[in-house]
Amino acid sequence: MRAWTALILALGLASCGKSIPIVEIHEVKIPIAVDCVPKDLPARPVLEDEPGALLAAQNAAGRARLLEKGYGPRRARLNLLEDVVSSCQTGRP
């Protein structure tokens, strides 16, 4: 019986010299790339005032007509893209 008591006491005291590990938790913020371009963004439209069409126009009046026809759709697309870029910069979808 004495041997068992001595053994248990020896094993119990053997662990006294070891220190308890200290667990530290640190919060690390890592930026994650998020696609802010909406999935339903329409494809680039084919405009009437493309460079090839302007070169093929008969005269200055024809080129002016093509530019006038392309201005509205181009402006609408630009407004849409500006909204997308703005939402990407502010982080709001």
Per-residue pLDDT of 9-58, as tens digits, reads 776 666 666 677 888 999 999 988 778 888 888 898 888 888 888 889 99
User: Residue 37 gets which letter from DSSP?
Assistant: S
Q: What is the DSSP string of 39-53?
A: TTPPPPPPPTT-HHH
pLDDT the model gives residue 74: 92
Per-residue pLDDT of 64-91, as tens digits, reads 999 999 999 999 999 999 998 888 887 6
Classify residue 26 as exposed, middle or buried by CB count within 10 Å of its CB (0-12, 13-18, 19+).
exposed
Handedness of CA 77, 83, 88, 93 (dihedral sign): negative
